[in-house]
Amino acid sequence: MPSTPKGKLAVGAAVGKGFLHITRDLGLKDPFTGSVELVSGEIAEDIAHYLITSEQTPSALSLGVLVETDNSVVAAGGLLLQLLPQAEQSVLDTIEKNLSKLPPISSLIKDGETPEDIINRVTEGIEVKILETKPVCFCCQCSRERLENLLIGIGKEEVSSMLEEQGGAEINCHFCSERYTFDKKDLENVLIKIESQGKKKDD
């Protein structure tokens, strides 16, 4: 990947033009997907553009990755700020001023600054209260039970077809790509549950 004169990875040049598709699990029957055209190819700029365009939420987003010469990642992180509806103009002005002085996020993380430290930098001059902290992790709410419920939801005819034609089923989570395998016995149990639910409805 090419670099800019300042040593910044030229992500935009590598990504190019196209569309950004964001899928969110809101706990509804189907996930919500929104799309916007890429404005620069830079990840933070394009996500901020999506939030403003698709969700009408004024947002500031900063992402950073510090890479060694051997391509190993030294530090990586991000900052997302979104204004509440009743935010005063003075708050916005202060945050914009603080953001203009903020060093790269990856550099702050490399130097050992905590999320709270970075928040204090961005909100300098504003009284803030941290309500909760959580460890950052890559995780998904998918489970074998949820995927089994999905099979139950598609109905007896579809599951029977899988059983007869394939002798099983393999389902990949749409979000994390975790693979779940259901063998012949598993599908037979799914059919039993479908029939049981049908009898309850009849009663």
Task: Give per-residue pLDDT as tens, 163-182.
Answer: 999 999 999 888 788 999 99
What is the per-residue pLDDT for 9?
57
Q: Which of 195, 188, 153 is nearest to 169 (CA)?
A: 188
Q: Which is more confidently placed, 109 or 18?
A: 109
Using one digit for the tens of pLDDT, what is the confidence trace for 23-35? 877 766 677 788 8
Dihedral pair phi/psi, residue 181, rounded to 5°: -115, 130
What is the per-residue pLDDT for 186?
93
> How many angstroms separate the CA atoms of 7 and 66, rounded?
10
Question: In the structure, what pLDDT confidence band is assigned to residue 8 with cuts at 50, 70 and 90?
Answer: low
> How many angstroms separate the CA atoms of 20 and 43, rounded?
9
Using one digit for the tens of pLDDT, what is the confidence trace for 141-150? 889 998 999 8
> How many angstroms separate the CA atoms of 32 and 24, rounded?
5
| Whether pLDDT at 15 is above 90 | no
Name residue 15's beta-bridge partners: none
Eight-state DSSP code of residue 95: H
Q: How far is CA 172 from the centre of its chain?
A: 17
Question: Residues 6 or more apart from 44 whose CB is under 8 A from it?
Answer: 61, 62, 63, 78
Strands (DSSP E) along 129-202, which ranges?
A: 169-172, 179-182
Structural domain spans, the chain = 144-197
Superfamily name and number for 144-197? HSP33 redox switch-like (3.90.1280.10)
| Whether pLDDT at 81 is above 90 | no
> How many angstroms separate the CA atoms of 65 and 63, rounded?
7
Q: Read off the pTM.
A: 0.55
